[in-house]
Amino acid sequence: MSRFKIPQIAPSEITPEYIWTSRRKWLQRVGAAMGAGVLSSLPLQAWGREGISYGQRNPEFGADEKLTPEEDVTTYNNFYEFGTGKEDPARYGGDMRLQPWKVKVDGEVLRPQEFDLDDLLKLAALEERVYRMRCVEGWSMVIPWNGYPLSALLKAVEPTGNAKYVEFITDMQPDAMPGLRSRIIDWPYLEGLRLDEAMNPLTLLVFGVYGKALPVANGAPVRVAIPWKYGFKSGKSIVHIRLTEKQPETSWVRIAPHEYGFYANVNPDVPHPRWSQATERRIGSGGLFAPRLPTQMFNGYGEQVASLYSGMDLSRYY
């Protein structure tokens, strides 16, 4: 997002952000430690540095395209809890608390549970999968995610016969998320899938990217990735997963139902009211003169998912 930059202070005079944030954090930690009189669990943000292996690349899910550079994947994000600018999540995400982290799974299940992040990480073997990610805004990336199929978690809670949909509810930390002050979205951010979509082997519960713990901007510490749908369907920083009988009313459907549907399958034939979806710009590939790429039906995952929608009018259920 363009902002006007009028250089008034020499760049050399500006304290680098990492110094003042680290100073601030250090002060906060000292303050907290003195206040509580304990020096126990200090590695607050460092949930990824505990010797977790994020798994080997699964060759079955290796898109043959060049990976989007890690820097672009982690600094160009939509995560409105931190602001609507693409750089906002990386810029303002530093104060988010990631520990302790619990994910509640309930609703139409036989065994509702609250999972610690550690339990969640142990539930199934982590692997790396390279997925294309297509944003509804017309850009795309190729991202190596680390995680395991969401179906492993859903099976653990045993959905009842009534369960037809899965709803994802995202965390809210008002003191750490400046975007929550804006009323663009009726917080918290809600997304959802049909149960069979959620059980599809492609739907990934994600803990890492590029072999490392997810940064806040990418939805730390746990998110989903649904590669045949537009990116906004993938809830970030998930704290609650609810299985329901009725189709959940998701955030974007609430805001602009004529622009964003519940299904949001990548579909070059159904334009957004304000732009075509026929082509996409691949981030981080080939500089200013790289041509746009043709968008593929279901983002190229039709073989795995087209059967989910047989008989449905996808221009009506977009």
Contact residues for 273 (Cβ-Cβ < 8 A; gap 6+): 258, 259
Binding letters toward another protein, positions 21-60, x by CB under 8 A: ----------------------------------------
Dist CA 43 CA 257 (whole Å): 42
Beta-carbon contacts of 4 under 8 Å, excluding residues fewer than 6 positions away, are none
Q: Whole-number minimum distance, CB 288 to another protein, in Å?
A: 6
Rule CB under 8 A: is residue 84 a binding residue for another protein? yes
Least distance CB 179 / another protein (angstroms): 10
- Contact predicate 179/231, CB 8 Å: no
Residue 315 in contact with another protein, rule: CB under 8 A: no
Contact between 291 and another protein by CB under 8 A: the answer reads yes
**Cα–Cα dist 96/93, whole Å:** 6
Binding mask 125-144 for another protein (x = CB under 8 A): --------------x-----
Taking the least distance from each CB to another protein, the nearer of 112 and 138 is 138
187/181 Cα distance (integer angstroms): 10
Shortest distance in whole angstroms from residue 282 CB to another protein: 10
- The verdict on whether omega for the bond into residue 174 sits within 30 degrees of 0, i.e. cis, is no
Residue 2 is a binding residue for another protein (CB under 8 A): yes
The least distance separating another protein from the CB of residue 63, rounded to whole angstroms, comes to: 18
Q: Rounded to 5 degrees, what are φ and ψ at 274?
A: -110, -5
- Rounded CA-CA distance 34/233 in Å is 42
Of 2-10, 147-155, 210-218, 297-305, which segment contacts another protein by CB under 8 A?
2-10
One residue of 27, 38, 125, 255 binding another protein per CB under 8 A = 255
The number of beta carbons lying within 10 Å of the beta carbon of residue 24 is 12
Least Cα distance to 78 among 189, 202, 168, 165 occurs for: 189
Tokens encoding 61? 């899910």
Collect all residues with Cβ–Cβ distance below 8 Å to 265 and sequence separation of at least 6. 228, 229, 230, 298, 305, 309, 314, 318
Nearer to another protein, 40 or 289 (CB): 289
Is 198 or 253 the residue whose CB approaches another protein more closely?
A: 253
Tokens found for residue 76 = 């160009």
Supply the minimum distance, in Å, between the C-beta of residue 22 and another protein: 23
Q: Binders of another protein among 260-279, rule CB under 8 A?
A: 273-276, 279
Q: Is there binding between residue 67 and another protein (CB under 8 A)?
A: no
Which is nearer to another protein, 112 or 284 (by Cβ)? 284
Of 30 and 184, CB closest to another protein = 184
With tokens 């949909």, the residue in question is 165
Compute the least distance from the CB of residue 77 to another protein, in Å: 9
Chain residues 163-202 in contact with another protein, contact rule CB under 8 A: 182, 184
Q: Return phi, psi of residue 203, to 5°.
A: -70, 115
Number of C-beta neighbours around residue 261 at 10 A: 20
Q: What are the residues binding another protein (CB under 8 A)?
A: 1-2, 4-5, 71-72, 75-76, 84, 86-87, 139, 182, 184, 255-256, 259, 273-276, 279, 281, 283-284, 287-288, 291-292
